Chains A and B, each alone.
Chain A
Amino acid sequence: MPVKAIPKVSIPRNGVSSFVRPCYKVSLQYCNWGGSSQGVRDFLTHPNKLVDRFAQNNKDVMFEILSKGGHPTFTFHYANGQKQAVDVRNLKVGDVARKLQEYMHRSGNEPFKFNHKVLSNNESVRGIWSPFHVAKNDRHRI
């Protein structure tokens, strides 16, 4: 009788042995005229070259700068296919940089409230407790 293999589906677990940053592209869209884009314009033309520094520190993220009418938005593209547009109108330079950093750290998954400590896909390591697996002299006697 041939031995049948037990089929197992592999689970994608980013971060186990290798890690790929989920955010791969950011497009920074601003308006050259509007007042709500002032913070983004300051950010792009900052004497400390903030955008250059961001790009240098995050070489696995593609930065795209678009000049377009309307309020400024940053669009973050994630590896799970999600695209998130973040409104950055009327923000100061520091806040713009913080927003950019914050959304680059995300994975694009839905945010969730987690009232436990550990999320696990593995089977219970310690097993289910059973009274019959305890040695006879260790069992509770009434």
Chain B
Amino acid sequence: MLKSIFKTNVRALSQASVMRSAYSLPKPVAPVSTEVPDLKLLKFDSNGQKDLYAIAKINNIPFLVTKGDKIVLPYKIKNHDVGEKLNLNNVVTIGSRNFTYNKQDGIPASAFQLTATLTEITKEPKYYVYKKKPRCRRLKTVEVEPFQTHLTIDEFKLL
């Protein structure tokens, strides 16, 4: 099917959309949650898996990441040390420039590998919060210096 698309004299720019519409003709059957999805088109389209992104969820918050990105979390990760490799297994979307595979209840972990290195646990710059109590004219000054965690995407590939 792919070969026949490339043979036809379509403009390079609009090729992607043609490919996309060509692929959508056989309606994909909803895969069983444990079944590994067929991500062949993503592999073809992603420049040797370089231009590939994933939407991974950490504490149910989505992060769109590519390889080498840095996730900045506004809290301190507990029970993990700096330098540890974390496996991000809750991935909702894997996509390239032209194709997206999306599964809201999580793509099975056997389809991809997405790991992050815990590179840093620091704090944000210090600032001051002034607190006012009723019937007291004085303001309390509180120092605030929230924690910050940096995760670097170490590996992302389709298996």
State in angstroms the CA–CA spacing of A112 and B124 once bound together.
5
Q: Return chain A residues, CB-CB under 8 Å to B63.
A: 117-118
State in angstroms the CA–CA spacing of A54 and B120 once bound together.
18
Identify whether the interface residues of A are mostly helix, strand, loop, or mixed. loop
- For residue B90, CB closer than 8 A to chain A, the reply is no
User: How many whole Å from A63's CB to the nearest CB in chain B?
Assistant: 17
Q: Which residue of B has the minimal Cβ distance to A117? A: B63
Q: Which residue of B has the minimal Cβ distance to A13? A: B68
- Contact B13 A133, beta carbon cutoff 8 Å: yes
Name the residue in B71, B82, B121 with the highest tally of chain A Cβ atoms < 10 Å from its Cβ.
B82
Return the CB mask of B133-157 against A: 1 if under 8 Å, else 0.
Answer: 0000000000000001010111100
State in angstroms the CA–CA spacing of A117 and B152 once bound together.
12
Q: Which residue of B has the minimal Cβ distance to A134? A: B17
Q: A117-B71, A126-B53, A133-B13 are in contact. Are A19 and B121 (CB under 8 A)?
A: no
In A109-132, the 8 Å CB interface with B consists of 109, 111-114, 116-122, 125-127, 132
- Contact A106 B122, beta carbon cutoff 8 Å: yes
- For residue A17, CB closer than 8 A to chain B, the reply is yes
User: How many whole Å from B10's CB to the nearest CB in chain A?
Assistant: 10
State in angstroms the CA–CA spacing of A117 and B148 once bound together.
11
Q: Return chain B residues, CB-CB under 8 Å to A2.
A: none
- For residue A16, CB closer than 8 A to chain B, the reply is yes
- Contact B95 A126, beta carbon cutoff 8 Å: yes
State in angstroms the CA–CA spacing of A134 and B14 once bound together.
7
Return the CB mask of B17-58 against A: 1 if under 8 Å, else 0.
Answer: 110110000000000000000000000000000011100000
State in angstroms the CA–CA spacing of A102 and B81 once bound together.
11
User: How many whole Å from A56's CB to the nearest CB in chain B?
Assistant: 14
Contacts A113-B125, A119-B70, A122-B68 supplied; 18 other A-B pairs, CB < 8 Å: A13-B68, A15-B119, A21-B83, A22-B120, A102-B123, A111-B123, A111-B125, A116-B72, A117-B63, A120-B68, A121-B68, A125-B53, A125-B96, A125-B97, A126-B95, A133-B13, A133-B16, A133-B17
Residues of chain B having any CB pair with chain A under 8 Å: 13-14, 16-18, 20-21, 51-53, 61, 63-72, 74, 81-83, 95-97, 117, 119-125, 148, 150, 152-155
5 interchain pairs, CB-CB under 8 A:
A15-B119, A105-B82, A118-B64, A118-B72, A121-B68
What are the nearest 10 A-B pairs in CB distance? Answer: A15-B152, A15-B117, A135-B17, A105-B121, A15-B119, A119-B70, A125-B53, A120-B69, A114-B72, A107-B120
